[in-house]
Amino acid sequence: MRFITEESRLPLLPCVATIGCFDGVHRGHRYLIEQVRREARARGLQSTLITFPVHPRQVMQSDYRPQWLTCLPQKKDLLQQEDADYCILLPFTHELSLLSARQFMELLHVRFNVQALVIGYDHRFGHNRSEGFDDYCRYGKELGIEVIHAQALVENGVSISSSLIRNLLKQGDAARANRYLGYRYYLDGKVVSGYQVGRKLGFPTANLQPSCTDKLVPKEGVYAVYAYAEGKRYAGMLNIGHRPTVDNGTERSIEVHIIGFEGNLYQHSLRVEFVQYLRPEQKFEGIEALISQLQRDKEAIVHLLGR
């Protein structure tokens, strides 16, 4: 796949394209991308994905903070695996937001040589987003673009979407979110200094500062995770919350006890993949009760993931 930016200015071969945010690059997206590849092969054209480096609402609302499933570098890594010919990173500008659906389709045709456009089952574009598939077909006939209606990926009556996965993570249902993503949801970043409470309790933790501040952090609580540190994968016990039992701050932390790891990860890169939600964060009557619960959590994780 070749990523195309405004600076690339490469002449593009005629293509079949689709457009979207592709947040999460989940199974529903991959199903859509496969339809684009199939339609492109049938016509002897290139397959093209068109997406935005920033969320369109961030352009329209300066205070809007999306809760991404994947920030841009992560999204590019996942899209790279999908074997389309091009991925166009189209900056969403105020001028672009003012285009009607027909004007936007004309831009796709003229600037990016789009000959056929695969439209997601719920996708709308254009200035007021009031038009639908029949309108797009009519504009396509006028402009010389074949408009193709994509099929949604439906599993047990549920249409897989980014908003569905986002809501599941907010509820702590990491296992179901992972099933719809097709991979384990993850956070990555650097290990920063923390309160050193875990070490005193016999459960030293790495305090993760996510690399992407706009990425969704799942519901607070305790999770079984895989932690990737220094080139190896470990089982881990992760807590998202405020440490109410030790009462040492109100700032939310993301701390992981890496089972079997010995060493200092301060300022090192760390990635954690969410496997299963264990329990909510809670305030215990004392330190001994907290330690007992942590030991039970660790045993449950070892049983689930191994060491």
List, by residue number, the catalytic residues: 255
- Report the chain's C-alpha Rg in angstroms: 23
Name the 3-class secondary structure at 179: helix
Distances in Å between the alpha carbon of 41 and those of 86, 117, 120? 14, 14, 19
CB proximity list for 8: less than 8 A, separation 6 or greater: none
Q: How far apart are the first and last CA of the chain?
A: 37
- Between CA 290 and CA 16 the distance in angstroms is 57
The rounded distance, in Å, linking the Cα atoms of 277 and 258 is: 16
The structure tokens listed for 89 are: 């990173």
Does residue 203 contact residue 296 with C-beta atoms inside 8 Å?
no
Residue 227: strand pairing partners: 234, 272
Distances in whole angstroms, Cα of residue 283 to Cα of each of 11, 130, 286: 61, 50, 8
What is the rounded distance in angstroms from the CA atom of residue 176 to the CA atom of residue 182? Answer: 10
Residue whose entry in the numeric block shows the structure tokens 């500008």? 93
Q: Where are the alpha helices (DSSP H) in 11-132?
A: 27-43, 56-60, 72-80, 94-97, 101-112
- The secondary element (H helix, E strand) that includes residue 291 is helix 287-305
* β-strands 186-192, 232-241 pairing: unpaired
